[in-house]
Amino acid sequence: MRHTHGSVEVVCGSMFSGKTDELIRRLVRATIAKQKVQVFKPAIDIRYAVEKVASHAGSTYDAIPVEKSAEIRDKLENDTTVVGIDEAQFFDAEIVEVVKELANKGIRVIVAGLDTDFRGEPFGSMPMLMSEAEDVLKLHAICMVCGDNASRTQRLVNGNPARYDEPIVIVGASELYEARCRVHHEVPRS
């Protein structure tokens, strides 16, 4: 079943906020509705499984790993009506054009990713994807310091906050990152 109009939905937030769980929930609903679903993820993300998107809570969904966003065009099957894209912040800048093209073809595109990096700054193409979206859902985790809503991702190095000049991309989970609120998010400068 093809949609009459394509659309872009973005699910964003800090690490441990449930972005991938929400993406999977939407994909499962589309599958139940007998829509043809394809899911893509950056090949760099091999934390849980190479050919699955996986949440920290253990939910999974089959996915196609790609090195560059242009590969999504090449691997898209003709009858696909819903495309899921996980960890969108790790894709090259062309992801924005790819997502727009898919939506303009009548495909429902559901994108999940971190809206900010460990510094608390906009991450990759996520701001552009959010501006293209018909629907944006920002999820929150729980601050590991005070228990309030967390909207930031704290990177840790030997148990201490990572310095501002550290590399932006280091793929990891709870051993390197934790959720923090604005008050407890720390990014020391040199």
Flag whether 162 is in a domain: no
Higher pLDDT, 178 or 175: 178
The confidence band for 5, taking pLDDT boundaries of 50, 70 and 90, is confident
pLDDT of the residue at 1: 47
How does pLDDT run across 90-145, given as a tens digit for each residue? 999 999 999 999 999 999 999 999 999 999 999 999 999 999 999 999 999 999 99
Domain encompassing residue 104: 7-139
Contact 41, 63 (CB under 8 A): yes
Rounded Cα distance, 49 and 43, in Å: 10
pLDDT in tens, 22-62: 999 999 999 999 999 999 999 987 666 768 888 877 888 99
101 classed as catalytic: no
> Is residue 18 one of the residues assigned to a domain?
yes
Let me know if residue 48 belongs to a domain: yes
pLDDT at 42: 93
The CATH number of whichever domain residue 77 belongs to comes to 3.40.50.300
For residue 20, count other CB atoms closer than 10 A to its CB.
24
- Does 159 fall in a domain? no
Q: What is the domain count for the chain?
A: 1
156 in any annotated domain: no
pLDDT at 97: 98
Instruction: Flag whether 96 is in a domain.
Output: yes
Among residues 87, 132, 134, 175, the one annotated as catalytic is 87
